[in-house]
Structure formats: structure tokens, C-alpha cells
Structure 1
Amino acid sequence: MNPLAIVGAFIITFSLLAYGIGSISLIRFKIVGSIVLIFLSLGLVFDMAAIALMIVGARETSFTLHGLLGYSAYLVMLVASIGVWRVYFKHGIDSRITKPLLRYTKFAYLWWVIAYFTGSLIILWR
């Protein structure tokens, strides 16, 4: 495996942790706090860096089943994060989250976790 892809796989784990802290905090407390904003944003940054490293370090095309699953997972987490930031800008810190956005965030996090573990399983089976 290419060293860049290995570093990308390592960074994606930081993304999992950041998304997890941000999403679970939001789901648990149902408010847009600074922890939620910081960790969702960190998750996006780590995820984007990891995706870029894995694309550059990949031997095959980036349009595989796992690649498309990963890109779509990033997109749904991006939309969830934008929704949370919109609530923050509109209502301020410690504002309550709407039920539809809370449901979407749960879905987005679950989708992202599925993409993460799918990638891990693909690497194990190679």
C-alpha cells in the first residue's frame, strides 16, 4: 500500500473520532454548542485531507464502490455540518436543534460510519 494512502487511512480515523464526538454530542444534548461546532468542523477537515491523500496514493481509480460510498458519506456529513452551522448563525450558541436536522445528523453519521468500516474491511480482505 502506498505511504500516502496509509497516512490517509490514519487521518480518516481522526475524522471518525471528531465526527463521533460532534455528532453524538449533538444527538445527546440536542443543542448547538461549541464542542459540536468544533468537532464537526474538524471531522470535515480531517476527512477532506484523508480523501485527498488516499486518492493520490491509490493504485486504482478513485471511482470504486468504496470511493463512491466515501464521497457520498462526506457529502451527507458536509450537509449536516452546514445545517448545524446555519442554526448557530441564526439562533446563536447553545440553541436547540430541530428534529429534522437531528434525524438527518443521525443518518449522516451512520452513513459515514458504514463507509469507514467498509473501507477498513476492504483493506483487511486484500
Structure 2
Amino acid sequence: MNPLAIIGAFIISLSFLAYGIGSISLVRFKSIGRIVVVSLTMGVLFDLTAITLMSIGAGGTPYTLHGLVGAVAFLVMLVDTIWVWVVIVRRGRDSKAQKEHILYTKIAYLFWVIAYFAGSIIVIWR
């Protein structure tokens, strides 16, 4: 396996951890505070870095089912993170999360879990 792909796989696990902490915190406490903002932002940044490294390291075409699921998961995560930042800027830190945002975060996290484990299964089967 290409070293860049290996580094990308490690970083994607950091993304999974960071985004998970942010998502679960938002859903559990129904509040958007510093931990949620930092965790979701770090999750998206780690994910972007990992996607870049794995795409370069893996070679081949990015137009696969896993690539599509991963791209959708990334976009949904990005929207969730931007939404959190908008709430923080408009209403301040420790704002109460709206029901719609909590539902969206659950869906975004589900997409992320599916993409993460699909990638893990693909690597194991190779």
C-alpha cells in the first residue's frame, strides 16, 4: 500500500474521532459550544486532508461507489460544520441547538459512519 494512502487512512481515523465527538456532543447536550465547533471543524479538516492523501496515494479513478459515498458524506459534514459556525456567530457560544439541526447532525454522522466503515471493509477485502 502506498505510504500516502496509509497516512491518509490514519488521518481519516482522527477525522472519525473528532467529528464523532462533535456530533455526539451536539446531540447529547443539545448545545453548540466550543467543543462542538472545534471538534466538527477538526473532523472536516482531517477528512479533507485524508481524502487528498488517499486519492493521491491510491491512484486510479475516484469515481467509484465508495468515492461517491465519501464525497456525499464530506459535503454533508461540511454543511453541518458551516451551520454550527453560523449559529455561533449569530447567537454566540453555548447556543441551544434547534431540533432540525440535531436531526441533520444525526443524519450527517450516519453518512460519515457508513463511508468510514465502507472504506475499512474495502481495504480489508483487498
TM-score normalised by length of structure 2: 0.98
1:54-108 alpha-carbon deviations (Å, 9 max, x no partner): 1101132111110111111000000011111111111100110111111001000
Task: Provide the C-alpha distance between the structure 2 equivalents of 1:84 and 1:49, rounded to a whole number of angstroms.
Answer: 21
Structure 1 segments, 4+ long, off by >2 Å, are: none
| Structure 1, unaligned runs of 5 or more | none
Q: Distance in 1 between matches of 2:66 and 2:90?
A: 36
Query: Deviation of residue 37 (structure 1)?
Result: 0.4
Structure 1 equivalent of residue 101 of structure 2: 101
Give the alignment's Cα RMSD to 1 decimal.
Answer: 0.6
Match of 1:28 in 2: 28
Q: Which runs of 5+ in 2 are unaligned?
A: none
1:64 is the counterpart of 2:83: no
**Counterpart of 2:8?**
8
Task: Name the residue aligned to 2:73.
Answer: 73
For residues 52 and 59 of structure 2, the distance between their equivalents in structure 1, rounded to whole angstroms, comes to 14
- Distance in 1, matches of 2:57 and 2:16, equals 20
- Looking at structure 1, the residues matched to 36 and 74 of structure 2 have their Cα atoms a distance apart, in angstroms, of 17
In the alignment of these two chains, the number of paired residues is 126
Give the alignment's TM-score, normalised by structure 1.
0.98
Q: Which residue of 2 aligns with 1:51?
A: 51
- What is the CA–CA distance in structure 2 between the aligned matches of 1:71 and 1:54, rounded to whole Å? 13
d(CA) in 2 for partners of 1:59 and 1:93? 42
